[in-house]
């Protein structure tokens, strides 16, 4: 059994009347890239702030590396690297000085510190910008600096809160690849996002949050398995009668049929050869059709099914 890195039990956090975290529990194990996925306001940042003891909470227990986390747990904190949602660097320090400052909070040995800072600079690809001040950096480069500051001291647990928001595609890819590389080098990662594709791409397990609760948890395959919808077939059609729609509704494994703007959408729960069966029926009935596509559910569909809401960028 892999070691527990983070254990959150029954966490409740209120901001006056608002319940931001509602008996939220979660356990994350060594070696994972764990995705915390949820729309804005679902409680991701609040969870992280509670985890780090930056925020007091009303109820619940938090353990990190098997020890109770408190505001004065310096030893635990030195093993954590945090990249906050809002970039937090010093404007009056250069890129190099910023990374050196944050690394120096935990690494006291001078030679090791210099080596760590150089490695962090290289890791995020800021070699040409070490003498720049943050104000001179583009949004993407600033994000990379923020990341370098968080990881320079080689933490065992790295927490990134929406690190790719408002970042150009090139920097975004670099960030995602970087996270996977850090994980390969042995770090456990917690990654929050409201982008489906990212979480799907890099996370070993995913918790879906909504209104301070965990509404689904598992690998992306497990989450998709929990869904009713397994396949959606869309066909561009000319004329379809009500009676024919009724027939389609009665085909095996179909649970929903809609016709809108000449697009027939058929949703399936399980079954094989669904496409073939539908095409056969359309040919028998002489229904003329244009393009046909069959789609498997994405995490976006998972979210929609669990919450009834669409996830948006
Ligand atoms: P996320 O990071 O998933 O977008 P947050 O954890 O920031 O969500 O917010 C969760 C909920 O708590 C939201 O409804 C938000 O408006 C509220 N909230 C967050 N911070 C505060 C605060 N300092 N005071 C009052 N309400 C807050
Ligand atoms: Mg947030």
Q: How far, in Å, from the CA of 197 to the mean position of ligand 1?
A: 24
Pocket of ligand 1 (CB under 6 A): 15, 18, 20, 38, 40-46
Q: Are residues 277 and 204 in the same domain?
A: no
Q: For 305, left (φ over 0), alpha (ψ -120 to 50), or beta?
A: alpha
Q: Do 29 and 5 meet the contact criterion of CB atoms below 8 Å apart?
A: yes
Tell me the residue range of the domain where 242 lies. Answer: 231-296
Residue 201 shares a structural domain with residue 256: no
In degrees and rounded to multiples of 5, residue 27 shows phi and psi of -130, 135
Return d(Cα 50, Cα 13) in angstroms, integer: 8
Examine the fold and report which residue of 193, 221, 249 is the final residue of a domain before the chain moves on. 221
CA 161 to ligand 1: nearest atom: 2
Calculate how far, in angstroms, residue 273's C-alpha sits from the geometric centre of ligand 1: 46
Of 187, 221, 255, which marks where a domain is finished? 221
Query: Are 95 and 244 in the same domain?
Result: no
* Ligand 1 pocket: which of 15, 165, 215 to mutate (most atoms within 8 A of CB): 15
Give the pLDDT confidence score for residue 300 in this predicted structure: 84
**Distance in angstroms (rounded) separating the CA atoms of residues 79 and 34:** 17
Collect all residues with Cβ–Cβ distance below 8 Å to 119 and sequence separation of at least 6: 152
- Give the pair of three-digit tokens for residue 257: 């049929």
199 and 69 within one domain: yes
Q: Mention every residue, 6+ apart, whose C-beta is less than 8 A from residue 198.
A: 164, 176, 191
Block residue for tokens 């400052």: 101
* Residue 192 alpha carbon to ligand 1 centre in Å: 14
Closest ligand 1 atom to residue 162 Cα is: 2
- Predicted pLDDT at 312: 64
Per-residue confidence of the chain (313 residues) as pLDDT tens digits?
A: 689 999 999 999 999 999 999 999 999 999 999 999 998 899 999 999 999 999 999 999 999 999 999 999 999 999 999 999 888 899 999 999 999 999 999 999 999 999 999 999 999 999 999 999 999 998 889 999 999 999 999 999 999 999 988 888 888 888 999 999 999 999 999 999 988 888 989 999 999 999 999 999 999 889 988 888 889 999 999 889 999 999 999 999 999 999 999 999 999 998 889 999 999 999 999 999 999 999 988 888 888 888 887 776 5
28 & 174 share domain: yes
- At 246, which CATH number? 3.30.70.100
> What is the pLDDT at residue 174?
86
- 26 forms bridges with which residues in the sheet? 8
pLDDT at position 226: 85
Q: Is residue 303 part of a domain?
A: no
**Nearest ligand to the CA atom of 85:** 2
The answer to whether residues 181 and 261 belong to one domain is no
The secondary structure element, H or E, covering residue 231 is: strand 231-237
Q: Looking at the structure, tell me whether residues 142 and 106 fall in a common domain.
A: yes
Any domain includes 312: no
Pair 22, 145 in one domain: yes
Q: How far apart are CA 195 and CA 192, in angstroms?
A: 9
Residue 198 domain-assigned (yes or no): yes
- The predicted pLDDT at position 313 comes to 53
**Residues in contact with 125: Cβ distance below 8 Å, sequence separation at least 6, in sequence order:** 144, 174
Same domain, 52 and 166: yes
Could you tell me if residue 65 is inside a domain?
yes
How far apart are the C-alpha atoms of 207 and 213, rounded to whole Å? Answer: 10
Say how many Å lie between the CA of residue 41 and the centre of ligand 1.
5
74 found inside a domain: yes
The per-residue pLDDT for range 70-99, each reduced to its tens digit, is 999 999 999 999 999 888 899 999 999 999
The domain spanning residue 83 has which CATH number? Answer: 3.40.50.300
Is residue 113 in some structural domain? yes
pTM attached to this predicted model: 0.87
Residues 50 and 17 in one domain: yes
Let me know if residue 15 belongs to a domain. Answer: yes
What does the pLDDT read at residue 169? Answer: 86
Query: Which residue owns the Cα nearest ligand 1 atom 12?
Result: 20
Distance (Å, whole) CA 94 – CA 153: 18
C-alpha 292 – ligand 2 centre gap (Å): 39
CA dihedral 83, 200, 172, 180 (to 10 degrees): 60
Number of domains in the chain: 2
Q: Do 195 and 244 fall into the same domain?
A: no
- The pLDDT of residue 83 is 94
| Ligand with minimal distance to 213 CA | 1
Q: Which atom of ligand 1 is nearest to the CA of 47?
A: 6
Assess whether 172 and 243 both reside in one domain. Answer: no
Which residue puts its alpha carbon closest to atom 19 of ligand 1? Answer: 46
CA distance 303 to 216: 9
305 within some domain:
no
The ligand minimizing its distance to the Cα of 20 is: 1
Which atom of ligand 1 lies closest to the CA of 38? 3
Q: Which residues surround ligand 2, an ion (CB under 5 A)?
A: 44-45, 85
């Amino acid at each position: 059994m892999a070691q527990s890195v983070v254990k959150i039990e029954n966490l409740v956090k209120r901001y006056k009347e608002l319940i931001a975290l509602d008996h939220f529990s979660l356990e994350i194990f060594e070696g994972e890239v764990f995705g915390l996925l949820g729309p804005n306001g679902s409680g991701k940042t609040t969870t992280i702030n509670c985890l780090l003891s930056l925020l007091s909470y009303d109820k619940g227990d938090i353990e990190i590396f098997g020890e109770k986390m408190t505001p004065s747990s310096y030893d635990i904190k030195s093993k954590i690297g945090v990249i906050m949602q809002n970039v937090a660097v010093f404007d009056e320090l250069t890129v190099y000085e910023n990374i050196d400052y944050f690394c120096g909070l935990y690494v006291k040995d001078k030679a090791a510190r210099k080596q760590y800072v150089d490695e962090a600079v290289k890791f995020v690809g800021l070699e040409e910008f070490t003498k720049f001040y943050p104000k001179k950096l583009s949004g993407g480069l600033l994000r990379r600096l923020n990341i370098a500051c968080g990881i320079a001291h080689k933490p065992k647990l790295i927490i990134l809160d929406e690190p790719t928001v408002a970042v150009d595609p090139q920097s975004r890819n670099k960030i995602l690849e970087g996270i996977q590389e850090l994980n390969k080098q042995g770090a456990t990662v917690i990654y929050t996002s409201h982008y489906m594709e990212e979480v799907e791409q890099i996370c070993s397990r995913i918790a879906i949050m909504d209104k301070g609760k965990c509404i689904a948890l598992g690998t992306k395959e497990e989450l998709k398995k929990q869904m009713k919808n397994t396949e959606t077939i869309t066909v561009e059609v000319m004329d379809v009668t009500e009676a024919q729609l009724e027939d389609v509704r009665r085909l095996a494994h179909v649970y929903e049929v809609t016709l809108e703007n000449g697009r027939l959408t058929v949703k399936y729960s399980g079954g094989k050869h669904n496409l073939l069966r539908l095409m056969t029926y359309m040919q028998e009935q002489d229904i003329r059709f244009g393009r046909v596509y069959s789609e498997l559910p994405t995490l976006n569909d998972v979210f929609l099914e669990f919450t009834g809401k669409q996830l948006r960028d």
